[in-house]
Amino acid sequence: MISEREILVLIPAFNEEGRVGEVIRGVRKFLGQSAILVIDDGSSDRTAHVSREEGAIVVSHPFNLGVGTALQTGYKYAVQEGFKYVIQLDADGQHPPEFLPAFTSKLKETEADLIVGSRFLTGSEERMSAIRRTGNKLFARILSFLINEKLTDPTSGYRALKSTVLQFCVQDQYAFDYPDADFLLTIHRSGFRIEEIPFRVDPRLGGTSQHSGLAPLFYSIKMMISLFVIMLRKKSADSN
C-alpha cells in the first residue's frame, strides 16, 4: 500500500503565474496528503509567489536552466527528503490532475521503475500540432525498435518515478535538456523497466508553448544526435 505522504508531486514551471495555481489546487483535490514541489525555473513573473500562496514548496532557480535541469532539481529534493515516489506534471494545465490516482495505482501494482502517461493510448494526441504529432510518432517508433519494447509517447512529461530510478536521476549521467526519448533509452539500457498508462491531455490554460515556431525542428535534430550518441556509448561499453 502506497501512502500519499510517500509521494512528492513535482511541477516544473517557467512563467506560469496564471496557470500554476489551478494545477496545485487540482493536485490537492486528488492527492491531498502528498507534498507538492514547484521548481520555479527562473520565472520573471509571479510563478513562485502564486505557488507559495497555494501552499506548495517552492525552489527557485536564479535564471532559466531548462526543463531537464528543473526536473533534476526536483529529483534531488525528493531523494534528500526521503520520498519514495515522484509524480511529475506540467504547470500549464495540460496534464489533468484527475489522472494522479491512476499513477498511484500503477505504482502500487507494477514492478516498473518509470511510468509514462501516454496521450496516444487515448487519442488525445490530436490536440498536438501536426508537426509535433508526426515527430512524436517517429521517435516512438525509433525508441521502440531500439529497446525492443513498444512505447507510444516518449515526449510525455506526465510521469511517475520510483526511488530506484530517482537514485539514477540525481547522478552526473543525467544530463538531458529535454528528458524524452534519449532519457528513456538511457533508462532502459541501465536496467530499469518502463511502462505506460493512458491519460487525456487538455488544452493549455494560457501562455505560449515552448514547442512553437522552428523549435520542433531543432528539437528533432538534437534528439536524433542524442540517440545516436547513446547507441555509440552502449556499443563501446559492449566491446570492452
From first to last of the 240 residues of the chain, give the pLDDT tens digit: 799 999 999 999 999 999 999 999 999 999 999 999 999 999 999 999 999 999 999 999 999 999 999 999 999 999 999 999 999 999 999 999 999 999 999 999 999 999 999 999 987 665 666 777 788 899 999 999 999 999 999 999 999 999 999 999 999 889 898 899 999 999 999 999 999 999 998 876 565 555 555 577 788 888 999 999 999 885 434 433
Output the pLDDT for position 206: 60
What domains appear along the chain, each with residue ranges and CATH number? 4-239 (3.90.550.10)
Dihedral class, residue 87 (left if φ above 0, else alpha if ψ from -120 to 50, else beta): beta
For residue 35, the SS3 value is strand
Output the pLDDT for position 134: 84
User: Could you tell me where the DSSP H helices lie in the chain?
Assistant: 20-30, 47-53, 67-81, 100-109, 130-147, 163-169, 181-189, 215-239
Beta bridge partners of 86: 8, 161
* 44, 92, 116, 75 alpha-carbon torsion, rounded to 10°: 30
Query: Got the DSSP string for 49-113?
Result: HHHHHTT-EEEEESS---HHHHHHHHHHHHHHHT-SEEEE--SSS-S-GGGHHHHHHHHHH---S
CA Rg value for the chain: 17
Output the pLDDT for position 233: 80
How far apart are the C-alpha atoms of 64 and 51, rounded to whole Å? Answer: 17
